[in-house]
Amino acid sequence: MSAAVPELKQISRVEAMRLGPGWSHSCHAMLYAANPGQLFGRIPMRFSMQMRFDGLLGFPGGFVDRRFWSLEDGLNRVLGLGLGCLRLTEADYLSSHLTEGPHRVVAHLYARQLTLEQLHAVEISAVHSRDHGLEVLGLVRVPLYTQKDRVGGFPNFLSNAFTSTAKYQLLFALKVLNMMPEEKLAEALAAATEKQKKALEKLLPSSS
């Protein structure tokens, strides 16, 4: 049975801007492109998407100090350090979610569809950005397909460790942008959860 796709509490941009000074704002960017290619000549790629690796997987971006920056200006400042060649605008805004836990953070996600050539150019630029090899350890592409064994590809990717709200934002964006049907998201999430469970069972001593 497929697991439900987890969600955080979504609020509007206007509501997010009305939150008091006790709230922190994080802004991240999802960059993707339609990809007509096929893996092994038979599995449709459909889309290519980037995420950032810094020990955990997440989208490029970071915290924005609302005392000094608008959401977009703050996001572009951070992107300039890690990607070096891209500026997003309010037109790219996708969502705001309240995070769970003791820290009061509202997570804003921006999304822009590029061409494959533009996506590749961002990857090249990122290697030469200021933070590459320091805080940012590289960009990775998200495999938005599932192989015949129902584990390879996206389910395997979901079994990795993600930073903060990144996993929720990834699943949310894929759903609302119609990049992957919700039932496929749920199936991939269930397969990833089962894989993590089996890996943990191998590490822990048997209770019998």
Look at residue 207 and tell me if it is in a domain. Answer: no
CATH number at residue 85: 3.90.79.10
If DSSP states are collapsed to H, E and C, what string results for the chain?
A: CCCCCCCCEEECHHHHHCCCCCCEEEEEEEEEEEEEEEECCCEEEEEEEEEEECCCEECCEEEECCCCCCHHHHHHHHHHHHCCCCCCCHHHEEEEEECCCCCCEEEEEEEEEECHHHHHHHHHHHHCCCCECCCECCEEECCCCECCCCCCEHHHHHCCCECCCHHHHHHHHHHHCCCCCHHHHHHHHHHHHHHHHHHHHHHCCCCC
Look at residue 43 and tell me if it is in a domain. Answer: yes
The radius of gyration of the chain's CA atoms, rounded to the nearest angstrom, is 18
141-162 pLDDT per residue, tens: 999 999 999 899 999 999 999 9
Q: What is the arithmetic mean of pLDDT over 6-13?
A: 88
Identify the pLDDT of residue 136.
Answer: 80
Identify the pLDDT of residue 208.
Answer: 47
Range of the domain at 58: 10-196
Helix (H) or strand (E) holding 187: helix 182-203
Look at residue 74 and tell me if it is in a domain. Answer: yes
* Whole-structure pTM value: 0.89
Look at residue 67 and tell me if it is in a domain. Answer: yes
3-state DSSP call for residue 160? Answer: coil
Q: Which amino acid is at 196?
A: Q
Please give the mean pLDDT across all residues of the chain: 90
Number of domains in the chain: 1
Look at residue 73 and tell me if it is in a domain. Answer: yes
Look at residue 206 and tell me if it is in a domain. Answer: no
Look at residue 154 and tell me if it is in a domain. Answer: yes
Q: What is the arithmetic mean of pLDDT over 156-181?
A: 95
Look at residue 71 and tell me if it is in a domain. Answer: yes
Identify the pLDDT of residue 34.
Answer: 97
79-118 pLDDT per residue, tens: 988 887 789 999 999 999 998 777 889 999 999 999 999 9
pLDDT at residue 122 is higher than 90: yes
DSSP state of 42: T
Helix (H) or strand (E) holding 32: strand 24-39
